Amino acid sequence: MTLSACGVRPTPVLTGAEAPTVSAHELTVYLVKAELDGLVRRTRSYTGTVDTATAINLLVAGLTDEEKKLGLVTEVPATSSRVFAVSNVIVLPEDMGPLSKWAQVQLYCTAIASRAKVEGVPGPGIECP
């Protein structure tokens, strides 16, 4: 029996980069009270990279089971399309159609809260609950 080697020499232990980490974030979305007379803040957890569009996408995804049980509602139309942030502009999908006053306020307050938390940008002075 004959053994041969392919000529690859042993190498020392090679160290790699640090192991990847997963970060969890808490983002604020705004929903409409059951009485339809104001907004309430809700905190949702999200794992992964976040930006202002992430919070808007959480809002567009609809209510959680807990939020439904609390009687909260949303005027933001649900869509499976993604929302994108381009510089300081949020680009909404065309299939969302015209937005009601409450939907506009929900989107605005969610974007402002997210931008303040994620990007460290202070709000413009317009009060959201």
Q: What is the pLDDT of residues 87-127, one digit of tens each?
A: 778 889 888 889 999 999 999 999 888 877 766 666 666 67
The pLDDT of residue 122: 66
In a domain, 1, yes or no: no
Residue 69, domain member (yes or no): yes
Let me know the angle formed at the C-alpha of 46 by 78 and 85, rounded to the nearest 5 degrees. 60
Residue 10 clears pLDDT 70, i.e. is over it? no
Q: Is 124 part of any domain?
A: no
Residue 18 lies in a domain: no
Helices 101-118 and 52-60, axial angle in degrees (round to 10): 140
Q: What's the mean per-residue pLDDT of the chain?
A: 82
Does the CA dihedral 72-74-75-78 come out positive or negative? Answer: negative
- Asked if residue 64 is part of any domain, the answer here is yes
| Number of domains the chain contains | 1
Helix (H) or strand (E) holding 90, with range, is strand 89-91
In this structure, is residue 127 part of a structural domain? no
Task: For residue 80, tell me if it sits in a domain.
Answer: yes
Q: Find the mean pLDDT for residues 32-52.
A: 90
Q: Are the C-beta atoms of residues 34 and 40 closer than 8 Å to each other?
A: no
Domain range spanning residue 106?
A: 24-118
